Structure 1
Amino acid sequence: MATRTNMPEQVRGVPVADGVKKNGAVKNRRALGDIGNHLVAVPLAQGGKPINRPITRSFRAQLLANANGGENKAPVLAAKKPQPLVPKKNLAVKKEAAPAAAVSPPKNKKVTYSSVLSARSKAACGVVTNKPKKILDIDESDKDNHLAAVEYVEDMYSFYKEVEKESQPKMYMHIQTEMNEKMRAILVDWLLEVNVKFELNLETLYLTVNIIDRFLSVKAVPKRELQLVGISALLIASKYEEIWPPQVNDLVYVTDNAYNSKQILVMEKTILGNLEWYLTVPTQYVFLVRFIKASVSDPEMENMVHFLAELGMMHYDTLKFCPSMLAASAVYTARCSLNKSPAWTDTLKFHTGYSESEIMECSKVLALHHSRCGESKLRAVYKKYSKIENGGVALVSPAKSLLSPAADDVQSKVSDAILGKEKPVEETTPEYEKLKHYVFELENHLAEAQKHAYRLVKRHRELGQSLLDFGKAVKLLGACEGEPTGKAFSDLGTKSELLSIKLQKETCLDIKLYPSCFRFVYIKATIAERGIAFRQHCELAETTKLKEINLDKLMLTRSEKVGEAENEYREVTTTTNSNLK
C-alpha cells in the first residue's frame, strides 16, 4: 500500500514550492482572521474620493454582493451631496435630520405568577390599581420598618376584605328565645368594663364580641348562661391576643362567683367546638388601624374613632354592616363630628374601597347612637372616653349633618327634661352644653355613690352577722361543760381566721368612703388578732376546763383594743338587727 507523501512544513515568509502550486494557487489565511464577517473596503468613486455615506444594513449587503459578483459588476458610485437650498424670506428652514442610531426593540416584560394572582385578588375585591394623583403614600414612614410589611400590606387588606364576609356574624335574635337586644348591650357594656379592669388590648375586646355573636348565631343560649358565654369568650380572646391572659379564678371573681372555673372551661370548649376553632378573623379593629392611618389623624381624631367604633359595637343593629364598613363609617363620622374638611378624602376612598355615599347609612346609625349615649344607662363607653387621658371625646357634640331632624328633636327634649326646662332650647349655646355636661357628670357620681353605698350596707350586714356568730360562739364556749375546751377554742379560732380572710379579700371599697373603710379595716385587724390569741390560748389551756371566758382574760397581742372592738361590735349588731326588722 502506498504511503502518504509527507508535505514539508510551510514557513511563514518563504515562497511556496512549485510542486505545491500545481494544484492551484494557495493563499495563507492570517492567524485568528475573521472568516465570516469580511471587512469590505468601500470602493472609491470616480475622481479618487471615498464615498461619503453611512453604512446601513442594506448598503452593507449591496457591497458584499458586488464584491462577490466579480468584475462585471459596476462599482458603486457615491451619491453627490445635494447643495443646500437658499431659503426664501420669512420661511423657516428645517434642519437636516441626523441619522438615527439603531435602537434595539424593548424586551417584553415578563409576567410572573405572583403578579397575576395579585391582580386577580385586587380586581375581585374592587381595589383600584391606578392611584389617583391626590393619593397620599401613608406607608412612606414605614418603609424602613420590616415589621410593617409595606410590600404586602395592600395585598393583606385586600385579602381581609375578601374573607370578612365569612366571619361576619349573622342576625340571630330570631333564634334566641330568652334574650333580646338590650341584654346583649348590657353584656357588651360589662365586658368593656372588665377589659378596662384587666388592662387588656382592644384587639381582645373586638375578638371577644365577635366570638359571642358568632356563637349566638348558631346556638340558642338560656338567659342564665349569657354572662357565662361572655366571660368564656373573653378567656378565649385573651389566650389568642394577650401575652399574659387573666387567670380563670380572676374571671370567676369578676362574675361575683356566679359561675365556677369548671363551668367556664366547659363553656370555652363548647364555644370552640361550635366555631370549629376558627379564631383568625379580620375584626373591626384590623381595619380601624389602617383607616386611621389613611386619615392622617391626631390623638383627638384617633380617640373619637375608637369611641364611635366601641359605641357601635354595643348595639345589635350594627351587625348588618361588615367590619370594614363599620371602621370606615367610624372614621367618616369622627371627621364630621370634629369638623374636618373634607370629610372624605381621595386617600380614604382609595384605602377603604368605599365612597362617601356607600358609608352614609352606617354613619347615620353611629351618629344617632352618639347623640343618645349621654342619656343611656349603659355608660361604660361614655365614662371611658370622658376621661382626660382619652381626650374627653365623648363630650363632643355629635355630627349634626348626619342626624335627622327627628333625632335632634328627641335629643333636645331629653336634655330639657333632665335640666327641668319647660320650653325647648332652639339653639345650642356653650353655657347650655356646659350645664348639660355638669348634669351628666353629677348623674355619674350619684350612680357611683349609690353603688358604693349599697356595697357598704352589704358589708355592714355581713360583718354584723359574722360578729354576731362570733359572740354566740364565745357564749357557747363559756357554757360548755364536759367537752374539751381545746376543741372549742380550736373551732372558734378557725372561724375567726376564715372571717379574717374573707374581710381581707374585700379591698375594693372606694376611697370616697374612706372613714367607713378604715373602720372595717380596723375591725378586721382586731378579729385577726383574736384568732391568733385563740390559737395561742388553745395551746396553753388544752387540758383546762373553764365554765366562762371573758374577752379581757384572753391573751391578745394588743389587749388595749378589746374595748374598742366591743363597741364596734355593739354598733354594727344594733344596725344589723334594725335593718333585719
Structure 2
Amino acid sequence: MPVARSSKAQSSKQPRASKAPSVTENVPQEKEEGCQAKRSPSSPQGGPKKRSAFGDITNAHKNQTVTGKKEGVKAPTHKTARAPPAPIVAKNNEINLKKSLRKTPPTDVPVEPEKDSVSEEPVQVPVVEDIDKEQLGDPYANAEYAKEIFDYMREREEKFQLPDYMEKQPDISRDMRAILVDWMVEVQENFELNHETLYLAVKLVDHYLVEVVSMRDKLQLIGSTAVLIASKFEERCPPCVDDFLYICDDAYKREELIAMETSILRTLNFDINIPIPYRFLRRFAKCARASMETLTLARFLCEMTLQEYDYARERPSKLAASSLLLALTMKNLGGWTPTLEYYSGYCAQDLHPLVKRLNFLLTYQPCDKLKAVRTKYSHRVFFEVAKTTPMDMMKLEEKLKS
C-alpha cells in the first residue's frame, strides 16, 4: 500500500542489503514466492510517483527462507489383538483398496517395456511423473484437485478468446495500448502488487475494449480502473480509490473512476476470473522442476508479451508453455519432457512457432521507449534475466529440431 498523501513527503525507506539470492537447481516450487516476493528495494523513496499518462520504478522481492518441518518417525508398536471376523476383514480390504487406487495415479507407476508381437523388440513407454503426490498431505496445496483445477482453466480459455478488436476502435491504436500497459507495469511496481494482478488487469482492458468503443482520453482511466478491479480480486489489501486518483495525477475525478468500475464489471457480466499465463507458468515450471532463475527468465519472456497486441490473442496456457520451453532451451536444460506434455496438453512441435516468435521479440524489441518490463527484470533480485543474451535464430532452430 502506498503511503497516504499527507505523509508522502515525510516517509522514508531504509535501503535493503544488496545481497543477491543464491540459486540452486531443482528449487521446490512451494518456496518460490518466499524466495522471490513482490516487494522492490528500488521502489521510489517516499511513496508512489504520480504520472499523468502514458522514472524507473523497479520491483524486487524480499528473500525469505522457508524451512520445512521434519517429520518425526515413530517406532512401531506391537499390540496383540483378536482378529476381526472374516466379513469385516473383507469389507475393510475392499475400502482400503479403493482408497489406494484413488490416491495413487496410474501414471506414477513405471511401465515395463512391452514387446511388439511382430518385431519382438521392446517398446519403451514414457513414464509420467505425478507432480502432486508430494503435497497430498498439505491441506493448503489442494493437490488432490490441482489437475482438475487446471483442466477447468484450460476449458475457460475457450470462453475468453480475444478477437481483433482494434479494427473497431477508431481513436485507439496498438501503440497506445502498449504505452498503457507499460504504465500499468509501473503502477504494479509502485503499489507493490502481485504479478497476477497485472496480468488480470491487462486482460480486463482487452475484454472491455472488445465490447466498448472508447476514446484515447479515457484509455488511462480504463487501465487504472482495471488495476483497481484486479487488485480487489487478487490482493489481500488492495489500494483504495484515492491512491489511483493520485497515481493518475488527479486527471480524473472519483465519480469517474467509480462509474468506470461499474461499466467494466457490467460489460463483462462480473465474470472476471480470466485465465492468465502466469498461473500456468508456475504449474509447468513445477513439472520441469525448474530452478528459480529459470522460472524468472520464463516470467520475463511471458511479461514481455503483455505490451504486444499480437500476443493478446494467444492462449494463456500455450504462451506460458512456450515461454518455459524457450527458457529451458536458453539454459541448456533439455527439452519438452513427457511429464510437461501430459500436464500442459502441448507437444513440443505445437510450441515451436511461438517459441521462435518469443525469441525474435527478445532480440528485436519493437519500441525502445517502453522499458518498464526490461528495467524491472534487470534488477539483481530477478537474477538480471533481462540482460540474458538472446539465442541465435539458426541455433534455436537446430536445438528445437534435435
Q: Does the alignment reach a TM-score above 0.5? A: yes
Superposed CA offset, 1:499-548 (max 9, x none): xxxxxxxxxxxxxxxxxxxxxxxxxxxxxxxxxxxxxxxxxxxxxxxxxx
Task: Name the structure 2 match of 1:149.
Answer: 142
Residue 351 (structure 1) aligned to one of 325, 328, 343? 343
Aligned to 2:360: 368
2:380 counterpart of 1:388: yes
C-alpha deviation, 1:130, in angstroms: 5.3
* Deviation per residue, 1:333-389 (Å, 9 max, x gap): 11122222x221111111111011111122122111111239721100000000101
Q: 2:303 is matched with which residue?
A: 310
What are the superposed Cα offsets for residues 288-344 of structure 1, whole Å, 9 maximum, x if unpaired?
A: 12111112111110110110111012100012311110110110111122222x221
**Which of structures 1 and 2 has the larger relative contact order (alpha carbons within 8 angstroms, sep 6+)?**
2
Change (3 A) 1:238 1:384: same
User: Gapped runs of 5+ residues in structure 2?
Assistant: 1-90, 96-101, 109-124, 398-402
Which amino acid in the other structure matches residue 388 of structure 2? V
Measure the CA separation in 2 of the matches of 1:178 and 1:352. Answer: 38
Equivalent AA in structure 2 for residue 268 of structure 1: E
Instruction: Flag the 1:320–1:133 CA change in 2: closer, same or farther, 3 A.
Output: same
C-alpha deviations, 1:374-416, integer Å up to 9, x for none?
97211000000001010000000123247899xxxxxxxxxxx
SS, match of residue 325 in structure 1: helix
8 A contact 2:378–2:385 mirrored in 1: yes
Judged with a 3 Å threshold, the aligned counterparts in structure 2 of structure 1 residues 402 and 337 are, in CA distance, closer, same or farther, namely farther
How many residue pairs match? The answer is: 282
1:253 aligns with 2:226: no
SS at match of 1:257: coil
Please identify runs of 4+ aligned residues in structure 1 that moved more than 6 A: 402-405
For residues 5-24 of structure 1, what are the alpha-carbon distances to aligned partners after superposition, in whole Å with 9 as ceiling and x for unaligned? xxxxxxxxxxxxxxxxxxxx
Question: How many Å separate the matches in 2 of 1:252 and 1:306?
Answer: 29
From 277, 281, 284, the equivalent of 1:288 is 281
Give the corresponding residue for 2:329.
336
Query: Aligned partners of 1:337 and 1:135: how far apart in 2?
Result: 24
CA deviations 1:448-471 (Å, max 9, x no partner) are xxxxxxxxxxxxxxxxxxxxxxxx
SS of 1:245's partner is coil
Q: Distance in 2 between matches of 1:331 and 1:288?
A: 7
Change (3 A) 1:184 1:404: farther
AA partner of residue 236 (structure 2): I
The structural deviation recorded for 1:234 is: 0.6
Query: What is the aligned counterpart of 1:169 among 162, 167, 174?
Result: 162
Preserved CA contact (<8 Å) 1:374 1:382? no
For the residue of structure 1 that corresponds to 2:165, the secondary structure is coil
3-state SS, counterpart of residue 305 of structure 1: helix
The correspondence of residues 122-521 of structure 1 with structure 2, limited to 5 A, is 133-340=126-333, 342-373=334-365, 376-401=368-393
> Partners in 2 of 1:165 and 1:403 — Cα distance?
34
Q: Is the 8 A contact 1:364 1:402 kept in 2?
A: no
- Report the CA distance shift for 1:190/1:314 in structure 2 as closer, same or farther (over 3 A): same
Residues 107 and 129 in structure 2, CA contact (< 8 A), matched pair in contact too: no
Equivalent AA in structure 2 for residue 220 of structure 1: V
**1:280 Cα deviation after fit:** 1.8
Give the Cα separation in 1 of the matches to 2:395 and 2:249.
40
> Higher helix proportion, which one?
1
CA contact (8 A) 2:107 2:127 kept: no
SS of 2:148's partner is helix
How many angstroms apart in 2 are the aligned matches of 1:181 and 1:404? 29
Structure with the greater alpha carbon radius of gyration: 1
Q: RMSD of the TM alignment (CA)?
A: 2.5
Q: Per-residue deviation at 1:129?
A: 8.1
The CA distance in 2 between the partners of 1:297 and 1:389, in whole Å, is 17
Task: Show CA shifts across 1:39-94 (max 9, x none).
Answer: xxxxxxxxxxxxxxxxxxxxxxxxxxxxxxxxxxxxxxxxxxxxxxxxxxxxxxxx
CA distance in 2, matches of 1:368, 1:219: 32
CA contact (8 A) 2:179 2:370 kept: yes
Could you say if the C-alpha distance between residues 402 and 161 of structure 1 is closer, same or farther in structure 2, counting changes exceeding 3 Å?
farther
TM-score (norm 2): 0.66
Corresponding residue for 1:78?
none
Identity level (%): 35
**Letter aligned with residue 395 of structure 1:** K
